[in-house]
Amino acid sequence: MKILFFITSSMEKPSPSWHLMKALLEDTLKAGISVHAIQRHYKEPVYDTPFPREILEHPNFTYSQIDSDEVDRKAFVKRYLGGIGYARRAKREIKKHNDFDMVFVQSAPTSLFYLNAVRSCAKARPVLYNSQDMFPGSAISSGVMKKKWMQNIFFFLQKFAYKKANVITAISEDMKKKLMEQGVSEDKIRVIVNWYDDAAVREIPWVENRFASKYELSQDKFYVQYAGTMGNVFNHKIILDVAERLKEYSDIEFQMIGNGVNREPFEKSAEERGLSNIVFYPLQPQDTVADVYSACSVCLIPLKQGVIGNSVPSKAGLLMACGRVIVNSVDKDSDYYAIFEREDIGRSAGCDEPDLLAEHILYYYKNPDIRRESGERAKEYGGKYYSRTYNTEKYTSLFKEMVEK
C-alpha cells in the first residue's frame, strides 16, 4: 500500500502543524505503508534537510519538492495565486509518481486547486482531505476577509473542494459541525484531534527546566503564559484588560512567548498602559516546547470570536501532557469551551469577558492544590484523547479502510 502525501507548505520550515506531519509520516511508515510526499522548497530553508532524517532514511519513503517563492503572510492575493501555481506545478510530479493507492491532502486556502490536481490523477482512487483550518471561516473570524461578496465566493469554492474528497478529517467536534453547516454529509467526516508526542513530551521539573534557567525565572511567581503565534486570531486586547485587573498582584506575571503580526501593537499597548506585569519573550526552539509549557502556572488561550470551529488551539494537548490547566477565552457556544469545566481540567470564559477570565486566573492562583489536582486530571485526559499513539493509529486504520473499500 502506498500513499501520496500532498503537503501544502513545507517541512523545511517550522509551522504550527510541523510536529503533526512529522509524527504522521513516521507512524504511517512504521505501519508498513509506503509514502511519496510532495512539498514546497524555499530558497532559504530553516532546517538542513527537507524532512527529518528518520523519515528521509526510511526505505519506503520518497519525495518531490516544488520550487516556491516566499510571500508575506499579509499579501493574501499573492499567497493565493502562489498556491494555485504550486498546485499546477505539483500536478506534473503527481503524474510521475502515479502508483499510489490513495492521497492525503493537507488543508490550505487554495485546497480546491490541490484537490483538483490530485483528483485528475487519482481518478477513482480515494482522497482524504485533512481540514486543519476552515477557509474562509478562519479568515472571516480573524478579520482578514471583511467583504461579504468575497466571503460568498470562497464559501462557494470550498463546497466544490469538499466534493472532491472521499473523506474529510476534522480536528474537533466544533469543526465537524461547521463542515456540516457547509453541506458536507456527516458520514463523510471523521473527527481525529491534533496530538502531542506522548513518547517525547512530559512535564519538566523546575530544576531541569531549560526555559526557566535561561531567563532566570523565579519559582515563587505565578506565571500566566501564552506561547505561540500572536497572529490575527490571537486576542491580545483581552490579555491587556485582564493584566490591568490583576496588576495589584505583584507575584502574577503574564509570559507572552512568540512572534506574529500582532506582537508589536501588543507590546506597544502594554507599554502605554504601564503594564509591567506583561513580559515578552522571543519564539523558543522547537525542542524546548515541554520546558516552556512546564514553566507556567496556568496557560492562557485567548482567541477572537468565531475562531473555534474554524480552527482549534493545537497547544491544548501539549499543555495537558505537561500537567497544566488551561484558561480559555473562546466562543461560549462551542464544545471546546465546555470540555474544560466538564472534565475539571481548566476553565473557560467568553471572548469579551475579561472579568470572568481574571476571576478564573485568581481561582487557580488562590487554590494551588486544586490547580495541581486539575493538572493531573488534564494529564490523564490528554493521554487518553490527545496522544500521538491514540490518534495516528486512527489515521493509519482509516488509510487501510479507505483503500480496502
* Residue 405 confidence (pLDDT): 79
Domain that holds residue 62: 2-195+387-404
- 309 and 228 in one domain? yes
Chunk the chain into consecutive blocks of 10 residues (it has 405) and report each block's average pLDDT, rounded to whole numbers: 95 86 96 97 91 96 92 77 92 94 94 94 95 84 82 89 95 93 95 90 95 96 95 94 97 96 96 97 91 97 90 85 96 93 96 97 98 96 92 97 92
Q: What is the pLDDT of residues 90-106, one digit of tens each?
A: 999 999 999 999 999 99
At residue 286, the pLDDT reads 82
Quick check: is 155 in a domain?
yes
Are 120 and 226 in the same domain?
Answer: no
| Position 165 in a domain | yes
Let me know if residue 201 belongs to a domain: no
| 262 and 184 part of one domain | no
In SS3 terms, 199-256 reads as CCCCCCCHHHCHHHHHCCCCCCCEEEEEECCCCCCECHHHHHHHHHHCCCCCCEEEEE
pLDDT of residue 69: 85
The whole-number pLDDT of residue 227 equals 94
Q: What CATH number has the domain bearing residue 66?
A: 3.40.50.2000
Q: What are phi and psi of 113, to 5 degrees?
A: -75, -35
Same domain, 91 and 231: no
Distances (CA, A) of 277 to 234, 245, 269: 19, 11, 13
Residues 176 and 213 in one domain: no
Measured between alpha carbons, how far is 353 from 238 in angstroms, rounded to an integer? 8
pLDDT of residue 73: 67
* Same domain, yes or no: 225 and 109: no
Whether residue 170 sits in one domain with residue 259: no
Residues 381 and 399 in one domain: no
Give the number of domains in the chain: 2
Say yes or no: 149 and 258 in one domain: no
Examine the domain organization and report whether 234 and 283 are in the same domain.
yes
Domain check: are 257 and 117 in the same one?
no
pTM, entire model: 0.85
What is the residue-averaged pLDDT of the chain?
A: 93
* H or E element at residue 190: strand 189-191
What local confidence, expressed as pLDDT, does residue 70 receive? Answer: 79
Query: Is residue 36 in some structural domain?
Result: yes
376 shares a domain with 254: yes
